[in-house]
Structures are given as C-alpha cells and as structure tokens.
Structure 1
Amino acid sequence: MKIAIISVSKKGQKVALDLKDKLDGDSTIIKTDLYHKNVKKYFPILFYEYDAIVAIMASGILIRSIAPLVESKLTDPAIVNIDDNANFVISTLSGHLGGANDLTNKISKLIGATPVITTSTDVNERLGIDVIAKDLYLSIDRPKEILYFNKAILEGREISFTVNPNKDFGYLFDYLNEKTHKIDVSIYYSSKVDENKILVSLDEHEMTLTEKKIVAGIGCRRGKECGEIYKGLKKSMTDLNLPISRVNMLSSAEIKKDEQGILKLSRELEIPVSFVDLEKLKLFESKDVAKSEFVKSKFGINGVCEPSALIMAGFDSKLIYKKTSYDGVTIAIAVSC
C-alpha cells in the first residue's frame, strides 16, 4: 500500500512525522509520503496517485476536500482521518475494498489511538463479501451485488460458494474457519466453474470472485538452501495474513535459474517458478522498486525480487510487500490488477 499523509497544523505535522517513521518499518507499506497544508492543491493529486490517504485534520476539512473526487468503492482510495491530538483514527472512505478499516486498526495500534469504524458488517461482527475479496486478493465481477450479499449476511442468511473440484481452495476454507466475524456459507463443487474462480450465489443473485495473480519474487545469495528461502517466504506471507498456498507463482532473475534452493522450493510447494531475462529486468522501470547498487554493478539491473515479481504479475501490477531481507534471502510480493 502506498500512503500519503497530509496535515494542516504544526501539531498535526508532528503526528504525521511520527506515523511515517512507524509505517516505514512495515514491509506491507510500500512507501509513505508527507504533505503539509495546501489541501485544495494536493487532494486532487493524492486521490489518484496513492492507495490510501491519511488526513490529520478536522473531519469537515477532509470531507469538503474529497467530496468532489469520490467515484466508486472499486477505485476510490482508502481515506483515514486523525485528529491533531491523535486521539481517534477514523475509517472515512473505502473501508473494505480500499482497506481503510484495516489501515485504521493498524494506525490506531501504532499511535495508541481509538479506532472508529462504522461499516455495518464490521460493527455487527459479520464478514462481508467485499472483505473476503480484499483479504484474499480476489476481483469482483458484479460489484453492484455486494450490497445485496452483505445485507443477506447481516440477516444471517446462508450464502453458496461454488468452486472447481480440481482446484485446491484450502486457503479459502482456512480463511473462513479462522475469521472471528460470522458468515454462513455452504460449499459446492462444479467443473463448470473455472479453476481460479469462486461463484457466489443466493436466490437469483450471483457474483464471481476471481483470483488475482500473486507472485513472490525471490533473491538470494548463492547456495541458499530451500528451508532458508521458505522461512523468508513464510514470514512475508504471514505479514500479509495469507497462506503460502495463495501464491500463484515464484519468480527470480535468470541468473538464479540454477539455484537449487529455489527450484526445490518450487517443487515442494507445487508452485511454478519463472526466471526473468536480464534484458527485461534492465528495461524495467518502476518508482516503487528499491535499487541495489551491488546488484546494479554486478548484473546491470536495479534488483531481483521486486522487478521479477512485478514483471511476472503482469502489466499494471503492484507491490503488496516490498523487498525485505532474511539473512541472505530477499522476498517481495506483487499482485496483478
């Protein structure tokens, strides 16, 4: 998640600086940028450039600033509001799909504030369909149906999930079992459903959840064993609250194509691995990729794990876990859009 933090007062600016320092240490936060004052100038830019905006200001200023920009729960960024004294963190816009509710809880813990969340499914401890989609990185083909399904969930009605019997959806079942929020679900199997899709139905209403492609980029020192690489991958996925089985592909640079640790990990996890050509890596440009001077001097590329993950996740993909080192192993996670 790429976050813009904007403040309007000196006290708010201090809160922003402290928050940035804390968020920068989180591998799931790709970057945090600070802005101060000039809200009329900045908001129209930030709204389209960042995944989330943390506004440290009065709620009236915030609401008037974003009102002309709000379009859709599918595309609007997460908006979180904090008061100057950092007493409250309020999820203001895109609580589910945008991730504002989760960000509110994260920030409130970091700064010792009270989280304020008002979405119906959350306050009634029910698990919304859009929350499932957000948490498991699934796209929704009929977003207008979200309201119908979430209303049914609030009423305690049973939702049907139909999946392909040839696909292992263990990650979905584990997720549903581990969630503390309630949802009544029955699981059905049908070969008519594509392997990467989940058909959600109730009465005459249907929507399809489709897996976005998750790619784990791996870099490592020569000779790193499978178990050492696995530990890094496991920690990264745990930070994302995802099981390793949700990963669709492993990736690295072609200079690593004979690394037995990576190859063995691919076999044992039964996850395919792709090695990206050096020429593609040399041509690849992204503002979000951390540049390594050592890798650049040795191989002529900016990095291994981040660019290889982004390339294999596809056009317009984004990082959801920035390059993180684990004793000679580097992991980055990218997801398709």
Structure 2
Amino acid sequence: MKIAIISVSKKGRELAFDLKDKLDSDSTIIKCDLYHKNVKKCFPILFYEYDAIIAVMASGILIRSVAPLVESKVTDPAVINIDDNGQFVISALSGHLGGANELAGKVAGLIDATPVITTSTDVNKKLGIDVLAKDLYLSIDNTKEILHFNKAILECREISLTVNPDNNFDYLFDYLNKVTLEINVSIEYSPKVNTDEIHVSFDDHELTLKERKIVVGIGCRRGKECRFIYDGLKKSLNDLKISHSRVNLLASAEIKKDEKGILELSEKLNIPVEFVEIDKLKLFESSDVSKSEFVYSKFGIYGVCEPSALIMAGFDSELIYKKTSYDGVTIAVAVSK
C-alpha cells in the first residue's frame, strides 16, 4: 500500500512524522510520503497517486476536500481521518475494497487511538463479500452486485461458493475457518467453473471472484538452505495474512536458476518457479523498487526479489510486500492488477 499523510497544523504535523516513522517499518507499506498544508492543491493529486490518504485534520476540511473527487468504491483510495490529538482514527472512505477499515485499525494500534468503523457488515460482525475478495486478492467482475450480497449476509442468508475441483482452494477454506466475522456459506464443486475463479450466488444474484496473480520474489545468498528460505516466505505471508496455497508463482533471477534451496522450496510447496533473464532485470524500471549498490556491483542489476516478482506478475502489477531481509534471504511479493 502506498500512503500519503497530509496535515494542516503544527501538532498534526508532529503526529504525521511519528506515524510515518512507524509505518515505514511495515513491509506491507510500500511507501509513505508526508504533505503539509496546501490541502486544496494536494488532494486532487494524492487522490489518484496513492492507495490511501491519512488526513490529520478536522473532518469538515477533509469532507470538503474529497467530496468533488469521489467516484466509486471500486476506484477511490482509502481515506482515514485523525484528529490533531491522535485520539480517534476514522475510516472515512473505501472501507472495504480500498482497505480503509483495516488501515484505520492498524494506525489506531500504532498511535494508541480508538478506531472508528461504520460499515454495516463490520459493526454487525459479518464478513462482507468485498472484504473476502480484498483479503484474498480476488477481483470482482460485477461490483454492482456487492450491495445485494452484503445485504444477504447481514440477513444471515446462505451464500453459495462454487469452485473447480482441479484447483487447490485450501487458502479459501483456511480463511473461512480463521476469520472472526460471520458468513453463512456453502461450497460446491463444478468443472464448468474456471480453475482461477470462485462463482458466488444467492437467489438470482451472481458475481465472479477471480484470482489476481500473486508472485513471491526471492533473493538469497549462494547455497542458502531451503528451510531458511521457507522461514522467510512464511513470515512474509503471515504478515500478508495469506496461505502459501494462494501463491501462484515463485520468481528469482536467472543467476539463481541452479539454487538448490529455491528449487527444493518450489517442489516442497508445489508452487512453480520462474527465473527472470538478467537483461529483463537490467531494463526494468519502477519507482517502487529499492536499489542495492552491493547487488549491482556483483551482478549488474540493482535487485532480485522485487523486480522478479513484478515482472512475473505482469504489466501494471504492484508490490504488496516490499523487499524484506531474513538472515541471507530477501522476500518481496507482487500481485497483478
């Protein structure tokens, strides 16, 4: 998630600096930038450049600033509102698909504040279908149907999920077993459903959830054992709260194609691995990729795990887990649009 924090007062700016310092240490936060004052000028830019906006200001200023920019729950960024004293963290816009509810909870925990969530499914301890989609990195084909499904979930009606028996949906079952919010679902199997899709229905309402491609990029020291690479992978996926069965592909640079630990991990988890050509890594450009002068001095490329993940996730993919080191192993995770 790319976050912009904007403040208007001296006290708010101090809170913003403190919050940025805490968020920068979170591997799921790809970048966090600070802005101060110039609200009217900043908001039209931030609204389209960031996944989330944290506004440390009075709610009236925030509402007047974002109102002309709001378009859709599908495309609007997450917006959360914090008072200057850091007492309340309010999820103001895109609570589910944009991730504002989850971000509000995270930020509140970091600054010892009270999170304020108002979406109906959350306050009634129900699992919205759009929350399930966001948590599992699934796209929704017909977003207009979300309201009908969430209303049915609030009424405790049964929702039918149909999947292809030839795909591994352990990640879905694990998620439904662990999630603390309530949802009444039945699981059906049909070979007519595409292997990367989940068909959701009740009465005459239908929508399709489709897996976005998740790629784990791996870098490691020469000869690193599989168990150490696996430990790093597990920690990263735990941070993202997803099962390894949700991962579609492992990726690394071609200089690692004979790395025994990576090959063993691919076999152990039954996840295919691809090795990206050095020339592609040299040509790849992204402002989100961190650069290592050490790696460049050895291999002529600035990084392995982040660009490998992004390249194999496809055009316009994005990082959801920035390069993180685990005792000689680096892990990054990218997802397709």
Q: TM-score range by the shorter chain?
A: over 0.9
- Does residue 1:199 correspond to 2:202, yes or no? no
Q: Distance in 1 between matches of 2:64 and 2:195?
A: 45
User: Match for residue 147 of structure 1?
Assistant: 147
Q: Distance in 1 between matches of 2:152 and 2:280?
A: 48
1:151-185 deviation digits (Å, cap 9, x = unpaired): 00000100000000111101101101111110000
Q: SS at the partner of 1:192?
A: coil
Q: Which aligned pairs between 1:1-337 and structure 2 lie closer than 5 A? A: 1-337=1-337
Paired letter, 2:205: H
Q: SS at the partner of 2:194?
A: coil
1:53-108 deviation digits (Å, cap 9, x = unpaired): 00000000001000111111111100000000000000000000000000000000
Q: Distance in 2 between matches of 1:56 and 1:142?
A: 34
Which aligned segments of 4 or more residues in structure 1 are displaced greater than 3 angstroms? none
Aligned length: 337
Q: SS at the partner of 1:242?
A: coil
Paired letter, 2:170: G
Q: Distance in 1 between matches of 2:164 and 2:213?
A: 17
Q: SS at the partner of 2:3?
A: strand
Q: Distance in 2 between matches of 1:311 and 1:72?
A: 29
User: Gapped runs of 5+ residues in structure 2?
Assistant: none
1:46 to partner: Cα distance: 0.4
Q: SS at the partner of 2:298?
A: helix
TM-score by length of 1: 1.00
1:27 to partner: Cα distance: 0.4
1:325 to partner: Cα distance: 0.2
Q: SS at the partner of 1:139?
A: strand
Q: Distance in 1 between matches of 2:226 and 2:45?
A: 44
Q: Distance in 2 between matches of 1:299 and 1:63?
A: 50
1:300 to partner: Cα distance: 1.3
Paired letter, 2:189: Y
1:296 to partner: Cα distance: 1.1
1:300-331 deviation digits (Å, cap 9, x = unpaired): 11100000000000000000000000000000
Q: Distance in 2 between matches of 1:104 and 1:207?
A: 28
Q: SS at the partner of 2:144?
A: helix
Q: Distance in 2 between matches of 1:111 and 1:260?
A: 43
1:247-296 deviation digits (Å, cap 9, x = unpaired): 10000000000000000100110100000000000000000001000111
Q: Distance in 1 between matches of 2:89 and 2:39?
A: 19
Paired letter, 1:237: L
1:201 to partner: Cα distance: 0.4
Q: Distance in 1 between matches of 2:35 and 2:184?
A: 44
1:245 to partner: Cα distance: 1.0
RMSD after superposition: 0.4
Q: Distance in 2 between matches of 1:230 and 1:73?
A: 37
Q: Distance in 2 between matches of 1:98 and 1:327?
A: 33
1:3-56 deviation digits (Å, cap 9, x = unpaired): 000000000000000000000000000110000000011000000100000000
1:208-239 deviation digits (Å, cap 9, x = unpaired): 00000000000000000110000000000000
1:190 to partner: Cα distance: 0.2
Paired letter, 1:222: R
Q: Distance in 1 between matches of 2:40 and 2:279?
A: 43
Q: SS at the partner of 1:261?
A: helix
Q: Distance in 2 between matches of 1:263 and 1:74?
A: 38
Q: SS at the partner of 2:54?
A: strand
TM-score by length of 2: 1.00
